[in-house]
């Protein structure tokens, strides 16, 4: 059974401040919900740090974009931090993407809030989590991270994609409205070659919805998360273009 758990109160929840709370260990975290009176642009940075490593880096506008891309309804006053992907077609696929916690973990949730003019209403910020029973061991750490790609006026090549034998990609969301196509190479072999028009068509067939100002690369758009993740392992080189 999936349960809902209220998290501890945030400390430091004020304009221009960084609110934080410690996430208790034990359950498996599927999603974390923020209930707040803040607008998306007022939530400038949201992070989850696991044992000193930032595994999730988001902001208010990005959280709303991710929900809209998946075709999920957005409720005013709520923001979702997606750990497990609830759009998976199988229960195993959803469990595979959740955050399993272990007894010795130190997990910190932080929310950076933009300054506001005098007279603004007090910040209201609460945290809730969708959780499932504990699992024996953590196999996968779900991550949402940002990377910067050097951009020119013509062709761009991204050579610094974080990679490794145990690192897989669910999706990439390129924050640019100038990208028209995407090629992907691994060890000098072209593995992906598509255009925005084709990928947008494929997304709509799978009930995924491209958002303005983004180019979406989604190897798991069909919902089969165990079989269709993109491996980043390579012997010599890996790059996007």
Both tokens of 79, joined, read: 């923001």
Give the CA count within 13 Å in the CB-facing half-sphere of 179.
27
- Calpha distance 27→40 (Å, rounded): 28
- Residue 231: phi, psi to the nearest 5? -75, 140
| DSSP 8-state class, residue 201 | H
Tens-binned pLDDT, residue by residue, of the chain (241 aa) = 789 999 999 999 999 999 999 999 999 999 999 999 999 999 999 999 999 999 999 999 999 999 999 999 989 999 999 998 887 766 666 677 799 999 999 999 999 999 988 888 999 999 999 999 998 888 889 999 988 877 665 666 666 677 777 788 889 999 988 889 988 888 778 888 999 999 999 999 999 999 999 999 998 888 887 777 887 777 555 555 5
> Chain-centre distance of CA 62, in angstroms?
8
Q: Residues 7, 81: contact at Cβ < 8 Å?
A: no
Strand partners, 36: 125
Contacts of 75 (CB under 8 A, 6+ apart): none
Sign of CA dihedral 87, 219, 169, 74: negative
Contacts of 151 (CB under 8 A, 6+ apart): 176, 178
- Give the architecture-level CATH label for domain 3-132: Sandwich (2.60)
Ordered by start, the domain boundaries in the chain are 3-132, 168-240
């Amino acid at each position: 059974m999936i349960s809902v758990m209220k998290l501890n109160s945030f400390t430091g929840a004020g304009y221009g401040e960084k609110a934080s709370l410690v996430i208790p260990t034990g359950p498996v975290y599927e999603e974390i919900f923020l209930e707040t009176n803040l607008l998306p642009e007022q939530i400038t940075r949201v992070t989850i740090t696991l044992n000193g490593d930032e595994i999730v880096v988001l902001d208010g506008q990005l959280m709303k974009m991710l929900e809209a891309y998946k075709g999920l309804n957005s409720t005013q006053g709520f923001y979702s931090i997606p750990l497990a992907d609830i759009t998976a077609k199988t229960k195993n696929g959803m469990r595979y993407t959740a955050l399993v916690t272990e007894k010795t973990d130190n997990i910190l949730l932080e929310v950076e809030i933009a300054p506001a003019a005098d007279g603004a209403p007090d910040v209201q910020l609460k945290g809730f989590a969708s959780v499932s029973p504990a699992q024996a061991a953590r196999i996968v750490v779900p991550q949402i991270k940002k990377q910067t790609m050097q951009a020119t006026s013509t062709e761009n090549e991204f050579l610094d994609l974080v990679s490794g034998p145990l690192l897989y990609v669910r999706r990439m969301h390129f924050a640019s409205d100038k990208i028209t196509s995407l090629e992907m190479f691994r060890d000098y072999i072209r593995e992906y070659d598509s255009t925005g028009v084709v990928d947008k068509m494929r997304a709509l067939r799978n009930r995924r919805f491209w958002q303005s100002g983004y180019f979406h690369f989604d190897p798991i758009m069909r919902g089969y998360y165990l079989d269709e993740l993109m491996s980043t392992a390579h012997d010599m080189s890996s790059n996007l273009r």
